[in-house]
Structure 1
Amino acid sequence: MNEEENQGPNPIHSEQDIAPFLLKTPMEIAYVLRLLEQAHSNIAIYFNAGHDMMLTRILSADAKAKQFVFDISGHEPTNAALLQADKLLFVGDLDGVKIQFSTVKPSRVLFEGKAAFMVSLPNDMVKLQRREFFRLTTPISSPYTIALPLASGSLTLELHDISLGGVGLWLKDEQQKALFNLGDIVHKASIDLGAAGRIQADIELRNLHTVYLKQGMTRWMLGVQFLNLSRGNESLLQKLMVQLEREQKALTG
């Protein structure tokens, strides 16, 4: 599988009201974890104050023991860094429903004869289904792009994913991180969506993190949020996402 197909979703924005979407009992939480396990869903783990991320999959969940097991990274320095992290933020997607929760530091164990991580069940879990959080991976062979009019000149980046709320962007190299300050607003960013057309929108730079891939490679991703998206552009995005979802479901059977 292409490395870019292995990316997990971005965290829920901190200003969102998540209280109505919280699960709090070990039985409910373990049940959702088992669904993620059965779906072989990629889960993103953010740590080091959100600056770093690794991908994993849930291997088992036990409501009675109040713990679950997840896969290690193929990048050993990432595993070592994860063991030193005081807090882990897990973010996943289950049939369009955003799943997010935090845990304490994990421990390294053997699970079915292979190295894995084990950690206590979280105190609560967010299970959030809202249309602005439904995110789809964009085409890899003919990637969509965004042109950012920065003070240093126009910069074009490839999209990794898209939602009605914003997009995830691949940086070309680590040096490009210096071009961005989180919280900054970029006006009149132009997004080329291939045959679907082009939209222009103001965007806010929301998050920037390192992505550790299982092949031992490292990439950098910038998450941006749309500001005051016009009805016309929102309608175009809705049609595009229906098309992308249909194509992706056809590929996966």
Structure 2
Amino acid sequence: MAEILIVDNDKYARKEIRAFIEGSKYRFLTIYEANTAQRGMILLKQNRPSILILDISLPDMDGIKFGRSALQLYPDLPVIVVTQLKMFKFVQEAINSGFSAYLLKPLSKNELYETLERLLPVGLNREINQTINGNNKFSSDLKNPIESAIQFIQMNYGYSLTLKEVADQVYLSPSYFSRLFKEEVGMTFVEYLSFVRVQKAKSLLRFSSLPIEIIAHNTGFSNPGYFATAFKKIVGKTPSEYREQFYFQEQGGGHDHDKKRIRTL
């Protein structure tokens, strides 16, 4: 799941980490906070995060021990220690425990960003980079204008795109471009754009727990209602039904209270 769990009894440290994340390209990730190991373990079991950020000094359990318990639950979970403790023995314990990073307070936001870039799943990072930054390396091939248009759409699906804007990119009049696009692709420009956006949304629905309205926005849909309509027309399910389907496949089934929780995401 595309979630970050912060376990630290210092509320100002949690607030700082949250502010850094919410001020970055990772601002669409869901963030959970806990001030004790006990609360952290509950959240850890309820929401399988993509990253665990913890302090070694917790009021009810040694942070190293908590991190080890987290790795027993999820062996591939990246664990980032953020602490004021600079002693080598703690660094060594963290390394020997299989933790992924050891960062010192006061935390550098650039160091945090570099660590997240390194540790978050590659596919999720690619989706985030495409959505936030777009791609400015497009070059039109005048001999293959429709192929070039498809490339441009794939690069910029998260933005508001019009037929005229894409036609301009391949140096064709809108009317001729529209006719040629339908002939070569078998879909109208609008149909193809919706298709691409829905395919991107399917990936985020399956591999992240981003709220549906955020996924709608990130994949270029003007509002969640239109997103749901377009998604169901192409996939045959609503976005929440599609997400629920894969959640229960991964969990091997589930109880009614679990279904209720998923529908609220």
TM-score (norm 2): 0.29
Higher CA-based Rg: 2
Greater helix share, structure number: 2
Q: Which has the higher contact order (CA 8 A, sep 6+)?
A: 1
TM-score (norm 1): 0.30
